[in-house]
């Protein structure tokens, strides 16, 4: 078995606000005079009583972030932590417009995050792009502000936008924003098929124009939809430990990832909210080896799927592929 940290990985589904080191969060909360939430009970795969409980908890974390230096620090530390796990390229999700509205400074949070990511790239050699998300529960006006940020900062590393949050809220109210995003060259990635079933996915790949499915694990509920997603080559951003922690899979052993791969779907491996469920991208790959018995050739295939599904420029994707091939060519540990 080869060292998974050395496997070059692309990390496509990870929310910046849910990557913050706990010691950093405590320091930021103290400096801002905010009560810091304690790490969730339950250890490495803390379970929440549904998505709403998780979202309410995550709001407490977000409220700690107030100053430009807070956002810059967490972005810089994110790069350091990802590089230490063997991530060579990441597409990190950030709820920029929400923070801007909350703080009354529309551009500040995103500009501060981009500064931290660039500092992290310079220090650790990790490449990045930013995906701006918008909660389905929030207004169309805020979604349009998200789009405006995506267009304005496209040259600074913002690659896409998408709808997130509770999937029971439809995408339909945002169709005009989605259409405008496509017309203005902003790529689209929506959360779908995690809490809700095939209809959520159909909406995302239809009027939502999504290029990937954030989660998408409920696609297996409909064989016809499986065939459509497979034929259209729409990748899935699968987050095993998060799915278990949030109650969307009963256990890692019961997780549908092997069935998704067996159905011929493009599966990528991600963490979603790593600090909150106490995982890393390396640990997710290690769990697949441990729980499903995947050998290094399968892990390399999963890493290639991440490179292929990314929005990285082709030279970066090709560098990832060469690195994965080189890893697989290394002698396995005795």
Nearest partner of 211 among 233, 228, 189, 243, judged by Cα: 189
Q: What is the side-by-side order of every strand in the sheet holding 236-238? A: 9-15, 87-94, 127-135, 158-164, 187-192, 212-215, 236-238, 267-269
SS3 call for 131: strand
Active-site residues, by number, are 194
Degrees (nearest 5) of the Cα angle 151, 214, 6?
Answer: 95
Q: Residue 259's CB: how many other CB atoms inside 10 A?
A: 12
Q: State the Cα–Cα distance between residues 191 and 306, nearest whole angstrom.
A: 17
SS3 call for 270: coil
Containing H/E element for 267?
strand 267-269
CB contact at 8 A, 240 and 283: no
């Amino acid at each position: 078995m080869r060292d998974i940290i050395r496997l070059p990985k692309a990390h496509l589904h990870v929310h910046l606000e849910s990557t913050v080191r706990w010691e950093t969060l405590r320091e930021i909360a103290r400096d801002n005079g905010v009560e810091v939430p304690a790490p969730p009970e339950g250890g490495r795969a803390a379970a929440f009583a549904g998505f709403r409980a998780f979202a309410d908890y995550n709001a407490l974390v977000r409220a700690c972030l107030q100053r430009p230096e807070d956002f810059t620090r967490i972005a810089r530390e994110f790069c350091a932590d990802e590089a230490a796990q063997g991530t060579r390229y990441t597409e990190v999700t950030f709820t920029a417009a929400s923070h801007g509205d909350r703080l009354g400074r529309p551009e500040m949070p995103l500009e501060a995050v981009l500064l931290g990511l660039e500092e992290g790239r310079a220090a650790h050699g990790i490449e990045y792009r930013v995906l701006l998300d918008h909660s389905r529960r929030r207004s169309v006006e805020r979604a349009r502000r998200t789009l405006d940020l995506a267009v304005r900062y496209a040259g600074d590393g913002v690659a896409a936008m998408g709808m997130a949050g509770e999937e029971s809220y439809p995408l339909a109210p945002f169709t005009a924003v989605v259409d405008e995003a496509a017309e203005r060259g902003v790529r689209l990635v929506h959360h779908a098929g995690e809490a809700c079933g095939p209809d959520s996915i159909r909406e995302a790949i239809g009027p939502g124009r999504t290029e990937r499915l954030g989660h998408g694990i409920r696609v297996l509920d409909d064989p016809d939809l499986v065939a459509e997603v497979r034929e259209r080559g729409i990748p899935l951003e699968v987050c095993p430990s998060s799915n278990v922690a949030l109650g969307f899979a009963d256990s890692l052993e019961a997780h549908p990832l092997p069935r998704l791969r067996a159905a011929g779907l493009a599966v990528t491996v991600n963490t979603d909210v790593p600090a909150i469920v106490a995982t890393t991208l390396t640990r997710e790959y290690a769990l697949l080896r441990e729980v499903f018995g995947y050998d290094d050739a399968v892990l390399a295939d999963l890493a290639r799927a991440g490179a292929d599904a990314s929005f990285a420029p082709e030279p970066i994707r090709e560098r990832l592929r060469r690195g994965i091939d080189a890893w697989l060519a290394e002698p396995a540990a005795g």
